[in-house]
Amino acid sequence: MALIEMPPGRDLTDALVERVLAAANARTPLRIAGGDTKRFYGRPVAGETLALAGHHGVVRYDPAELVITARGGTLLADVEALLARHGQRLPFEPPSFGSLATLGGTVAAGLAGPARVARGPVRDYVLGARLLTGDGRVLKFGGEVMKNVAGYDVSRLLAGSLGTLGVLLEVSLKVLPVARGTRTLRRHIAAQGALELLGAAAQRGLPLTGSFWSKGELYVRLEGCPTGLDELVPTIGGELLDEPAAASLWHGIREQTHTYFTSARPLWRLSLPATATATAAGVALVPADRVAFEWNGAQAWINGVERQTIDPITRAAGGHATLFRRDDTAVGETSEVFAPLPAPLLDLHRAVKRVFDPAGILNPGRMYANL
């Protein structure tokens, strides 16, 4: 139980501050890039690239604290490998979308993988951050402790902010131990039946840490102590996958290399109330092979259809849609990526943006126009 000795990495804070200050003075927009693996996500940003990859290194890690602090440009893969060596992991199972993904980019994108259904989103695990603002200030918010109510929780505000509020120089994340055991089941079942089964399992408190339905196949992942899992397996039913097959399946879902995700564009992500009726009402509006869902139905994917098909679904089911991956062959695609905000809420977003980036040079327009 102690701090783990780490190589020093590289701290480019001074150079980054200088670069941001120069850009602020010249009103030059900056496109913040970690590993540039999520460039497809969000609205396109026209600006000079501010590369974070050289600003890397784990600053502090003590497994007994369940906290890791690393510079924004640290490779996600390096962080995950380090945690794995100590029997721990990032609880939200973030997608990397490429080997160069960074920890800063992971937090800024705010994307979570299959385990989000059980363990919650990225923002739940952000404990602290060191932030470089758009006017060159280096600010420290939060810290490395689990409970901290001193000051506004700016570090959680940064989760999913897509670099619009500042450059993540350093983040502290809560981590958790890996499960003692895991089982993955495959069942042939229609969407409605799958949603009902998942809803009932969640309500009974089963340790369901991943669910994925596509083309009439439901995959369910359970985690916990092995003896308990063996008792639970029959309550879900279906066929047990061996460990390599299961690992490869969940990796494919998390990284969107599974055939569902590569088959058609555009790819829409729908955030829906987790009820069988809601999700089923939505998915009934498109051909079944265009639909997949995760998180017990709270996250649905629809591919190969245009916005006019999506809007009635979110209207019928509640929730909202994101244009997750555009159709790159479509010429002159300029449509919005994220669901529109009511005017007073968008005004508040812009006011908050001005607090951190008064000149509006950091990833301008990545999330919404004029933000």
Partner 1 sequence: MAIDAGLLRELGLVLGPGLLSTPAACVAYECDALTAHRHPPDLVALPTSIEQVQQIVRICRRNSVPVVARGSGTGLSGGALPVAGGLLLVLSRLDEILEVDPRRGLARVQPGVTNLAVSEAAAPHGMYYAPDPSSQVACSVGGNVAENSGGVHCLKYGLTVHNVLAVKLVTMDGELLTLGSETGEAPGLNLLGAVIGSEGLLGIVVEVTVRLLPLPRRVELLLAAFDDVGRCAEAVGQVIAAGIIPAGLEMMDAPAIKAAEAFAGCGYPLDAQALLLCEVDGLPADVDDELGRARALLEAAGATSVRVARDAGERQRMWSGRKSAFPAVGRLAPDYYCMDGTIPRRHLADVLAQIAALSTAYRLDVANVFHAGDGNLHPLILFDAGRDGELQRAERFGADILEACVAAGGTVTGEHGVGVEKLGPMCSQFGAAELATFHALKLAFDPAGLLNPGKAVPTLARCADYGALRVHGGRLPHSHLPRF
Binding flag, residue 148, partner 1 (CB under 8 A): yes
Interface segment toward partner 1; rule CB under 8 A; list 76-84, 138-146, 212-220, 280-288: 138-146
83 and 68 Cβ atoms separated by less than 8 Å: yes
Q: 63 or 238, CB closer to partner 1?
A: 63
Where residue 216 falls (left for φ over 0; alpha for ψ -120 to 50; beta otherwise) is: left
Residue 13 φ then ψ, to 5°: -50, -50
Q: Is 327 helix (H, G, I), strand (E, B) or coil?
A: coil
**Binds partner 1 by CB under 8 A, chosen from 7, 8, 27, 203:** 203
Q: Which two tokens stand for residue 1?
A: 């139980």
Binding flag, residue 62, partner 1 (CB under 8 A): yes
Binding flag, residue 121, partner 1 (CB under 8 A): yes
Q: 39 or 349, CB closer to partner 1?
A: 349
Q: 19 or 130, CB closer to partner 1?
A: 130
76 and 106 Cβ atoms separated by less than 8 Å: yes
CB of 314 to partner 1, least distance (A): 10
What CA–CA distances, in Å, run from 265 to 140, 304, 329? 40, 5, 9
Strands laid side by side in the 58-62 sheet: 58-62, 67-71, 167-174, 126-132, 138-142
How many CB atoms neighbour CB 176 within 10 A? 16
Binding flag, residue 124, partner 1 (CB under 8 A): yes
CA dist 204 and 336 (Å) reads: 39
User: What is the footprint of partner 1 within residues 317-356 (CB under 8 A)?
Assistant: 318-320, 322, 338-342, 344-346, 348-349, 351-352, 354-356
CA dist 220 and 186 (Å) reads: 7
**Planar angle of CA 320, 326, 329, nearest 5 degrees:** 150
**Binds partner 1 by CB under 8 A, chosen from 54, 120, 287, 312:** 120
**Binds partner 1 by CB under 8 A, chosen from 53, 197, 253, 367:** 367
User: What is the footprint of partner 1 within residues 215-274 (CB under 8 A)?
Assistant: 224-225, 227-229, 231-232, 271-274
Binding flag, residue 177, partner 1 (CB under 8 A): yes
CA atoms within 13 A on the CB side of 50: 35
How many CB atoms neighbour CB 331 within 10 A? 6
**Binds partner 1 by CB under 8 A, chosen from 21, 157, 285, 316:** 157
Binding flag, residue 165, partner 1 (CB under 8 A): yes
User: What is the footprint of partner 1 within residues 74-103 (CB under 8 A)?
Assistant: 87
Q: 79 or 198, CB closer to partner 1?
A: 198
CB of 65 to partner 1, least distance (A): 5
Interface segment toward partner 1; rule CB under 8 A; list 25-33, 143-151, 241-249, 324-332: 143-151
Binding flag, residue 156, partner 1 (CB under 8 A): yes
Q: Which two tokens stand for residue 317?
A: 């089911």
User: What is the footprint of partner 1 within residues 274-293 (CB under 8 A)?
Assistant: 274-275
**Binds partner 1 by CB under 8 A, chosen from 51, 77, 178, 264:** 178
